[in-house]
Structure 1
């Protein structure tokens, strides 16, 4: 059964009839800049902290210089060490395309193409002349601190005795499989959770040679293993209470490395 949630029923979406299908624009007010992160109340964060048992820390960051050749021929990572002789002091200079390494896909990145609007109906002009819906708003609100539910697709397939998966191909994970993966964990989702989905992307990418990585970055369409772009998947995410999704996943036929829910 879906968790108790303050969200309206999925059948009531879209809330903004001028926005994209399935949107919840206006749910948190006409000037909202946080989306589902509004659900991260002190009570939710405190409840998440009570889940800690081992106290072990695991970094989810990928290397800054990966992928070696970012998709769509975007520029790669550059680093320079600057020694401030005669003093024994070093400065570091970096040049990085934010669509590489580990990153949050914020509300400013990819808009509703049909109406040329971003979250809440903001225009490109509004984005360029102000700091509206920037990820700094998330920081000002206290950041993203909550319980994460991990679904490991490669391990799930192995446990089921099914063929292993190669993440650098355009295949999708259906809502039925996502639900079964969640069932296998024994975890009951609750409003305010974050979904972590492992597809094996970094494992398979790091196994590539330099020429293969170069060819991957030059592809006109970046297609990888991810969740199915379907109403069923969207409804499952909505009804599960997730406020954010992290992993290499696909929504509306495009890849997102990390994303906060904006519907």
Structure 2
């Protein structure tokens, strides 16, 4: 049972899209005005092989999530070894990718990804998340996201390259940078991905992130999506777990109670270097029926 302000029933009893409903045609058209130069930046981490991914299997919250596997099914070596070309002189390279989105690459969480009790967002039965996928609130409900993006570059505001691992971003720190409009995508930079190159061990020794109060502040301002460059939107302790209890868990506040989709493990360094706070945010998850999330390549159009 939800006992604090929430969006259950706000968009109708059958709603499965949450605050993405705020992205009406007029809101999208208004968001497009945030682009002024036409420069396009990718906000995604590269999908690498398991040996170089910033998500070691020893981290507790990643157990059961295999790291990305990318391999070639047909390559130039096959033809060098005598494989016949397709048609006269026509060769082809082909590959395969196995990826679990959560915790292993830039991805979007569906509204069925986390819940408490026996109900998903908007009161949908949690029993509808089954072994073959979620029949309620799956990632295929998202479609495309085109919105005004607002970059909350908290380290820059504090004069830091990245936030300390124990830092929890409070509402006042966000408000000093910007106040989002309904339908905005709030993009939170902690700078923490830079730490991976210096020390994977330090990267997983804890992570900065939003406080519960900051999550509620963003929800109160009707953002459509919350996106961040850390692994879990909120902070993590040295065990790789969220330190908050259920009442203050960021995923429950945002996904479960307010229907706000989450995007995690962004790469924001090039965007931060531009000094831009506003831009057009574009993203479209894979249309995986019943999926709890999807790999994603968000774009910032400046």
TM-score normalised by L of structure 1: 0.74
Partner of 1:31: 14
User: Please, which moves more after superposition, 91-100 or 69-78?
Assistant: 69-78
Q: Deviations over 1:28-87 (max 9, x none)?
A: 111101000001000000001122110000100112133242542332111110117323
Q: Deviations over 1:10-35 (max 9, x none)?
A: xxxxxxxx226332211111110100
RMSD across aligned C-alpha pairs, in angstroms?
2.6
- The match for 1:237 among 211, 218, 226 is 218
- The match for 2:101 among 85, 92, 98 is 98
Structure 2 CA distance for aligned equivalents of residues 109 and 234 of structure 1: 17
- The match for 2:234 among 242, 245, 250 is 250
Structure 1 CA distance for aligned equivalents of residues 119 and 47 of structure 2: 30
Q: Cα–Cα, structure 1 residues 235 and 255, in superposed 2: closer, same or farther, change >3 Å?
A: closer
By how many angstroms is 1:92 displaced?
A: 1.1
Structure 2 CA distance for aligned equivalents of residues 170 and 119 of structure 1: 30
Structure 2 CA distance for aligned equivalents of residues 189 and 229 of structure 1: 17
Structure 1 CA distance for aligned equivalents of residues 4 and 250 of structure 2: 18
- The match for 2:187 among 196, 200, 214 is 196
Q: How many residues align?
A: 219
Partner of 1:89: 92
Partner of 1:180: 176
* Aligned pairs for 1:61-80 within 5 A: 61-65=44-48, 66-69=53-56, 71-72=59-60, 73=63, 74-80=65-71
- What residue ranges of structure 1 are gaps of 5+ in the alignment? 1-17, 183-187
Structure 1 CA distance for aligned equivalents of residues 42 and 198 of structure 2: 20
TM-score normalised by L of structure 2: 0.65
* Aligned pairs for 1:117-156 within 5 A: 117-128=119-130, 131-139=135-143, 143-156=144-157
Contact 2:162 2:192 in 1 (8 A): no
Structure 2 CA distance for aligned equivalents of residues 189 and 120 of structure 1: 24
Structure 2 CA distance for aligned equivalents of residues 49 and 239 of structure 1: 23
* Aligned pairs for 1:107-126 within 5 A: 107-112=111-116, 115-126=117-128
Structure 2 CA distance for aligned equivalents of residues 26 and 198 of structure 1: 32
Which protein, 1 or 2, shows the higher relative CO under an 8 Å CA cutoff with sep ≥ 6? 2
